Amino acid sequence: MESYKTVIIGSGPAGYTAAIYLSRANMQPLLLEGIQPGGQLTTTTLIENFPGFADGVDANQLMGQMRQQALNLGTQIRAGVVTKVDLSVRPFRLTIDETAEIEAESLIVATGAAAKYLGLPSETKFRGMGVSACATCDGFFYRKRDVAVVGGGDTACEEATYLATLCRQVYMIVRKPFLRASQAMQQRVFATPNIEVLFEYNTAEVLGDQTAGVTGIRIRKTDGSERTLDVAGLFLAIGHHPSTELFEGQLELDDEGYIRVEAGTSRTSVEGVFAAGDVKDPHYRQAIAAAGSGCVAALDCERYLRSRR
Ligand code: NDP
């Protein structure tokens, strides 16, 4: 069986950063790319808030550069999805694509999280063409235009207030007659003149065409009445799923399924397993934050491996 000092699961900014650091520390990591090589960023286009790129950078190009940097420094990168993990044995045992088995002395989990979408066919059609799940990433493209945010939690309120600083009008589409967000966030929303909260509405359809992208949304109230909003952007803020199914019952997870780490470190409940990026971070969810936490995980992992020699 193939055996590695360290295996990194995930190919977003957290995974690649961990790979870069561990390769430079001569730990010969294997990085498994997973179901979405390059991670969540590859679903967006221009990134203007990743430091070091004065004019912004194309998301796929950025991820391509991180991948190449890891390869240049000696990381082995393999396509494939980890389908089973056994953390009860030493070395840890991983199954890739249901077939190949490998062993790892240590593990960095950087499997990320995925934004939840409504599941409408029209929403899928316009993803990246007006439909987004990240206001911080894409809000800038809707300056002085009208947009809608779906959701009534803290994220939706935060995204709406952020968008209100850029856009002309922001509509919040909330399915309940109240917001679930904290009082402080609610107050900010209600105090912002260009946010209108539409309670008891669900999104029925995203309208648009392939040239202009999104041009509006059709929303339906709980009493069955409908209205159309002319918006250029639709932001989903209905929560994220951390990709931790593989680790259920093996690593300590919080109520939402995010991996619990020891405060200020990347150490999980199993010695030798470290977590980095969105898989352990329900709050910040930014590429640069994920990259930083990949660095932290690599340093923790390197210390762990050296302490065993
Ligand atoms: P939440 O789960 O708190 O809220 C999700 C929102 O989306 C709810 O209003 C929910 O409605 C709505 N929703 C879910 N599914 C659908 C659907 N299919 N159609 C329409 N609406 C839907 O997620 P958040 O991402 O807002 O927050 C996650 C965690 O992160 C929370 O603990 C939050 O407090 C925290 N957070 C904290 C921040 C801060 O402190 N600054 C900032 C951002 C997040 P319903 O209420 O009806 O279920």
Establish whether 138 is a catalytic residue. Answer: yes
Question: Where does the pLDDT of residue 39 fall: very low under 50, low under 70, confident under 90, or very high at 90 and above?
Answer: confident
Which residues have any ligand 1 atom within 6 Å of their CB?
A: 118, 150-156, 158, 175-176, 180, 238-239, 282-283
- Catalytic pick among 55, 97, 134, 301: 134
Say if residue 19's pLDDT is above 90. Answer: yes
Residue nearest to atom 18 of ligand 1 (CA): 118
Q: Which amino acid is at 177?
A: P
Q: What is the pLDDT of residue 169?
A: 98
- Tell me, in angstroms, the distance from the centre of ligand 1 to residue 239's CA: 5
171-197 average pLDDT score = 97
Say if residue 155's pLDDT is above 70. Answer: yes
For residue 179, the ligand 1 atom closest to its alpha carbon is: 9
Question: Where does the pLDDT of residue 157 fall: very low under 50, low under 70, confident under 90, or very high at 90 and above?
Answer: very high
- Tell me, in angstroms, the distance from the centre of ligand 1 to residue 111's CA: 21
pLDDT in tens, 62-100: 999 999 999 999 999 999 999 999 999 999 999 999 999
Q: What is the pLDDT of residue 289?
A: 96
Residue nearest to atom 35 of ligand 1 (CA): 154
- Catalytic pick among 86, 138, 157, 281: 138
Q: What is the pLDDT of residue 43?
A: 67
Q: What is the pLDDT of residue 49?
A: 86
The answer, as to whether pTM is greater than 0.85, is no
Residue nearest to atom 25 of ligand 1 (CA): 239
Say if residue 44's pLDDT is above 90. Answer: no
- Tell me, in angstroms, the distance from the centre of ligand 1 to residue 286's CA: 17
pLDDT mean across residues, the chain: 95
Establish whether 157 is a catalytic residue. Answer: no
Establish whether 137 is a catalytic residue. Answer: yes
Phi, psi for residue 263 in degrees, rounded to 5? -50, 135
The answer to whether 154 touches 178, Cβ cutoff 8 Å, is: no
Give dist(CA 253, CA 244) in Å, integer: 8
- Tell me, in angstroms, the distance from the centre of ligand 1 to residue 181's CA: 7
pLDDT in tens, 131-147: 999 898 899 999 999 99
